[in-house]
Amino acid sequence: MICHWDAERDFAPVDGLDLDSVAAIISMANGRYLLQHREDRADIEFPNQWGLFGGAREHGEDAETAMRREIGEELEFRIRDCSLFLGCAFNLWFEHRRTRKVFFSIEMTEIEACSLALREGQAMAWLSFEEIMARAKQVIPYDLGIIALHNNVRGVK
Chain segment 76-125, per-residue pLDDT in tens: 999 999 999 998 887 777 767 777 889 999 999 999 999 999 999 999 99
Average pLDDT for residues 52-64, to the nearest whole number? 91
User: Among residues of the chain, what percentage have pLDDT more than 70?
Assistant: 85
44: pLDDT strictly greater than 90: no
Q: How far apart are CA 81 and CA 68, in angstroms?
A: 10
Beta pairing class for 53-56 and 83-92 = unpaired
Look at 125 and 57; give whichever has higher pLDDT.
125
Beta bridge partner(s), residue 98: 91
Chain mean pLDDT for the chain: 87
Calculate the CA dihedral of residues 4, 10, 12, 16 and round it to 10 degrees.
Answer: 140
Q: Over range 29-52, report the average pLDDT.
A: 94
Distance CA 7, CA 107 (A): 21
Range 18-44 average pLDDT: 92
pLDDT for position 157: 52
Domain 8-151 class in CATH? alpha beta
Lowest mean pLDDT among 5-9, 26-30, 39-43, 134-138: 5-9
CB atoms within 10 A of CB 101: 22
Please tell me the pTM assigned to this model: 0.86
Residue 21 or residue 77, greater confidence: 77
Contacts 24+ apart (CB under 8 A), 110-114: 110/28, 112/77, 113/28, 113/34
